[in-house]
Amino acid sequence: MKALLVIDMLKDFIDQDGVLTTGNAGQEIIAFINDKIAEFRKNNFPVIFVCDNHEQDDKEFDMFPAHCIADTKGAEIITQLSVEATDKIIKKRRYSAFFGTDLDLYLREKQVDEVHLVGVNTNICVLYTAADARNINYQVTVYKDGVASFNEQAHDFALEEMKNTLGCQIV
């Protein structure tokens, strides 16, 4: 069984006026992700929205401007993607969708052994989610037209790293 992880498609990362916007790179993957969500739903595969969701004074803000604070507009999923009642929402405070969340348990309960990744940033939350998934033996597929970063060089590096070091399929 496979599942789609839609990572950090949130207003602070995707809207042009978001605090940590990925700009055009993030805008350009929305249509692809919408198609992927429709494809997974049609086949009754789980669709999981992984959402950055920080405390006001989160330690991550030592490195990045404050973003995706719980219960603020910036932490909301962008309006261009529709969330259905059957979708799973995972809130996270760190880069990896597995760290401090019930994602692994949820996937096991659904008998998922293969996760497919889309979203942002390729070199941050996508990369570290892929690494944790590989460490606990999930197969990982990353859609290169469905991921983006505010740093194009880091995006390219992360795709290579996920392929060559982590053994992800990049398609």
Which spans of this chain sit near Zn ion (rule: CB under 5 A)? 52, 60
Sheet with 2-7: strands ordered across: 88-92, 47-52, 2-7, 114-120, 139-148, 169-170
CB of 85 to Zn ion, least distance (A): 26
Number of Cβ within 10 Å of residue 60's Cβ equals 15
Q: Are 49 and 90 in contact (CB under 8 A)?
A: yes
> Judged by CB, which is closer to Zn ion: 19, or 166?
19
Q: Cα separations (Å) of 22 from 79, 121, 138?
A: 16, 8, 28
CB of 56 to Zn ion, least distance (A): 13
Three-state DSSP state, 55: coil
> Judged by CB, which is closer to Zn ion: 19, or 170?
19
CB of 60 to Zn ion, least distance (A): 5
CB of 109 to Zn ion, least distance (A): 26
> Judged by CB, which is closer to Zn ion: 52, or 87?
52
> Judged by CB, which is closer to Zn ion: 9, or 112?
9
From CA 44, how far away is CA 47, in angstroms rounded?
9
Residue nearest to Zn ion (CB): 52
